[in-house]
């Protein structure tokens, strides 16, 4: 499938944004969020030091951790790269301003959002990693990802030839949108659970094994609510087969179901194995990929060719 410059840049930016979420997950799981205590510089420098002896005199050398500093610094560098890519995506989108202006509008929205996200990142550092600020930071990242995915798909939809009868599309769309909404609610609740874990870790200074309080009602809701995601996923697989939908949607349905099961398994590992860092990262990246897959399923349905005879 031959792609033009905008399509290549937009799709690359979507992938790079998922990479950024992965790096951000590493930062959070390792506790490196304050590896750089200032913004936009790091220890008052544009390129941070590799050892405490090179720190400017106004910084406490005992607080320096080279791994945390460079992990957070790489996170910022990837964020800057995303900013450049989104800027290019916006500029290249002007070729669609007459043919399909919504592509340009969506690309422009992503550009504005990434500027806001950059400012918000500074506020997160200045707040000392406030739980609420981190949650907003993550939600905005997901909105940027969804906006970029929408723009990318809309610009390339003519290359995807899918036919789904109107009445079948309505059934599948209801299931897919319900699944998407439940997933988003789960993600927001999950960020709130993570805030309580951060409180237990950073404020109460509890050991890792006690970060999850089994009596916490929010965690219980998040854990129990996860099974509600399985129901529409199962319905999606059932109707994909019953309605004999195109293979692209069938494969995407199986991918979505697989990602949901992976999220549940990883969630169980977080509880049983005392919040291992690798599980935290997989859980965060997994939900980002899952949201992309669900949104892609919805977009394919939305823009599929209509058939007059079912």
DSSP conformation class of 63:
G
Write down the pLDDT at residue 152.
Answer: 93
Q: Fold for domain 162-310?
A: 1.20.120
What are the backbone angles phi and psi of residue 131, rounded to the nearest 5°?
-55, -45
DSSP conformation class of 119:
H
Write down the pLDDT at residue 310.
Answer: 39
* Secondary structure class of 38 (helix, strand, coil): coil
DSSP conformation class of 184:
H
201, 134 in Cβ contact below 8 A?
no
Nearest to 249, CA basis, from 236, 264, 260, 268: 236
Cβ count within 10 A of residue 64: 20
Task: Read off the pTM.
Answer: 0.84
pLDDT in tens, 182-227: 999 888 888 777 776 666 665 556 666 566 654 466 777 777 777 8
Cα(138)–Cα(134) distance, rounded to whole angstroms?
6
Please give the mean pLDDT across all residues of the chain.
84
Q: What is the DSSP string of 197-265?
A: HHIIIIIS---GGGSS-TT-HHHHHHHHHHHHHHHHHHHHHHHHHHTT--HHHHHHHHHHHHHHHHHHH
Write down the pLDDT at residue 292.
Answer: 93
Write down the pLDDT at residue 6.
Answer: 93
pLDDT in tens, 134-161: 778 888 888 999 999 999 999 988 877 7
Residues of the chain predicted below pLDDT 70: 1, 127-132, 196-217, 305-310
190, 297 in Cβ contact below 8 A?
no
Write down the pLDDT at residue 306.
Answer: 43
């Amino acid at each position: 499938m031959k792609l033009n410059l905008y399509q290549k840049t937009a799709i690359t930016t979507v992938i790079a944004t998922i990479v950024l979420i992965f790096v951000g997950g590493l930062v959070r799981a390792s506790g490196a969020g304050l590896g750089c205590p200032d913004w936009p510089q790091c220890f008052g420098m544009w390129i941070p030091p590799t050892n405490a002896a090179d720190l400017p005199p106004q910084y406490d050398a005992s607080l320096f951790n080279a791994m945390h500093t460079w992990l957070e610094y790489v996170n910022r560098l990837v964020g800057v790269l995303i900013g450049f890519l989104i800027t290019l995506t916006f500029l290249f989108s002007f070729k669609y301003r007459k043919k399909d202006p919504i592509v340009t509008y969506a690309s422009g929205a992503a550009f504005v959002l990434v500027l806001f996200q950059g400012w918000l990142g500074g506020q997160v550092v200045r707040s000392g990693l406030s739980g609420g600020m981190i949650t907003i930071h993550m939600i905005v990242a997901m909105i940027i990802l969804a906006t970029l995915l929408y723009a990318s798909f809309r610009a390339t939809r003519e290359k995807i030839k899918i036919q789904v009868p109107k009445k079948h599309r309505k059934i599948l769309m209801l299931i897919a949108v319900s699944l998407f909404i439940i997933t988003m609610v789960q993600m927001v609740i999950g960020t709130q659970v993570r805030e309580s874990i951060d409180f237990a870790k950073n404020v109460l200074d509890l050991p890792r094994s006690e970060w999850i309080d089994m009596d916490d009602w929010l965690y219980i809701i998040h854990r129990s609510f996860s099974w509600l995601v399985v129901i529409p996923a199962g319905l999606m697989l059932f109707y994909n087969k019953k309605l004999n939908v195109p293979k692209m949607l069938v494969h995407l349905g199986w991918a979505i179901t697989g990602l949901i099961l992976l999220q549940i398994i990883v969630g169980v590992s977080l509880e049983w194995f005392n919040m291992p860092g690798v599980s935290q990262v997989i859980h965060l990246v997994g939900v980002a990929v899952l949201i992309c897959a669900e949104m892609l399923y919805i977009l394919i349905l939305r823009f599929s060719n209509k058939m007059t005879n079912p």
